[in-house]
Amino acid sequence: MCVCQTMEVGKYGKNATRSGDQGVLLEPFIHQVGGHSSMMRYDDHTVCKPLITREQRFYESLPPEMKEFTPEYKGVVSVCFEGDSDGYINLVAYPYVENEALEQDDLPERDQPRRKHSRRSLHRSSSGTEHKEEKPGLASDSTESSIQETKSPRVDLHIHSDVPFQMLDGNSGLSSEKISYNPWSLRCHKQQLSRMRSESKDRKLYKFLLLENVVHHFKLPCVLDLKMGTRQHGDDASEEKAARQMKKCEQSTSATLGVRVCGMQVYQLDTGHYLCRSKYYGRGLSIEGFRNALYQYLHNGIELRKDLFEPVLAKLRSLKAVLERQASYRFYSSSLLIIYDGKDSRAGMFVERRPEMRLKRVDGSVPEGLQDGGGTEPGSPAQPKVDVRMIDFAHSTFKGFRDDPTVHDGPDMGYVFGLESLINIMEQMREENQ
């Protein structure tokens, strides 16, 4: 167990240490756009999330050709939960020591008791709950109750964005002018801390997965989180959970397109803000609504980023070809991230052409790189940087994996159907906007 002492760690003040070792202070990952459990920033290149053994083993056994389309798996850390005398809560990571930290699923999956906060509480990809259905708002009913019981943990954020965020569908409850992180990120972080605080008498250390920060190379990351496939429940789901998940799919574009919006942030050149959408927005979309959401994701507030069509389509086609070769694999409840840079090579031209729309940082300065036209020679626009990554494998399976009793035939055609729908919609959008 963790014996938490306090000491000064850099400019961040009080933090936990173990046996004299200096830990790494974890901060909410400010560009998290979807999911349940909090993604944490470990360093510039690395994020971490609560460990689910199935997901860890899946990362460790990924087929080589899938690694291009998944975050790099970097190992495991032990995370200590600590509340200081001022009421602030810190999560601090240390090198993992075998048998010391606990994970969410220490028991074999099929033997685990159904606990109130079991699978939903500590992994990113689950869409269902084992209790009352989650509703739009800053916290779910159950989480609101636990927050009240623990007097609502105070969160002191040190990492933030110079670019404000604005949630469009009313789920943040915060002023868009003052938000320097994606509101969904803080929502998940507060829920995570409340759960961990409620368990703090019994658990002092947690296992967290270390994964590549896939948006690190983007100056202004525009992120679309898509829940993929026509089925979301894993083979080990209870009948009740499976029924709930099937209902969600039937009532959304998961059934009609094999894909639904789970979260989004897109940088707007005209305002200098990120516009954000949550999973609740995505669940209510029709097919036409999904098309409009994709259009909005590719629009920078001044024009549609038509230069993104070909590189994104190329990535999606390559991923589709790879997954069609993965016999017996199923990626239930997995998500797909599409990422591009809101700071494109033509941004400076827009700023110069529309002086009333000059981008402002919080401190009033113009973002670096937009002052001189973006640094690109006229007539030689740089190829836009895009990325496509699969995430969330807590319900994934394949033949021979963890002695799973259910073996599936052929590739995951629900996931492939979602990719086909996405490709078709983007191709139609490209043709309509040439």
Residue 138's pLDDT is what?
A: 33
- 164 in Cβ contact with 361 (< 8 Å): no
Model confidence at 77, pLDDT cuts 50, 70, 90, reads very high
| Contact residues for 141 (Cβ-Cβ < 8 A; gap 6+) | 132, 134, 135
Q: What integer is the mean pLDDT of 75-92?
A: 83
Residue 339's pLDDT is what?
A: 98
Cα distance between residue 258 and residue 243, in whole Å: 17
- 366 in Cβ contact with 355 (< 8 Å): no
Q: What is the per-residue pLDDT across 234-264, written as a single tens digit (0 to 9) for each?
A: 999 999 999 999 999 898 999 999 999 999 9
Which tokens hold the place of 148? 């009240």
Q: What are the C-alpha distances in Å from 358 to residues 77, 161, 177, 195, 350?
A: 43, 18, 17, 43, 8
Model confidence at 85, pLDDT cuts 50, 70, 90, reads confident
β-strand partners of 247: none
Judged by DSSP in three states, 174 sits in coil
Q: What integer is the mean pLDDT of 132-154?
A: 38
Residue 162's pLDDT is what?
A: 76
Q: What is the per-residue pLDDT across 208-225, written as a single tens digit (0 to 9) for each?
A: 999 999 999 999 999 999
Judged by DSSP in three states, 380 sits in coil
Rounded to two decimals, the pTM is 0.77
| Contact residues for 95 (Cβ-Cβ < 8 A; gap 6+) | 21, 77, 78
Which tokens hold the place of 169? 């569908």
Q: Is the pLDDT of residue 121 over 60?
A: no
Which helix (H) or strand (E) segment holds residue 250: the answer is: helix 239-250
- 24 in Cβ contact with 210 (< 8 Å): no
Angle separating helix axes 413-432 and 309-323, nearest 10 degrees: 160
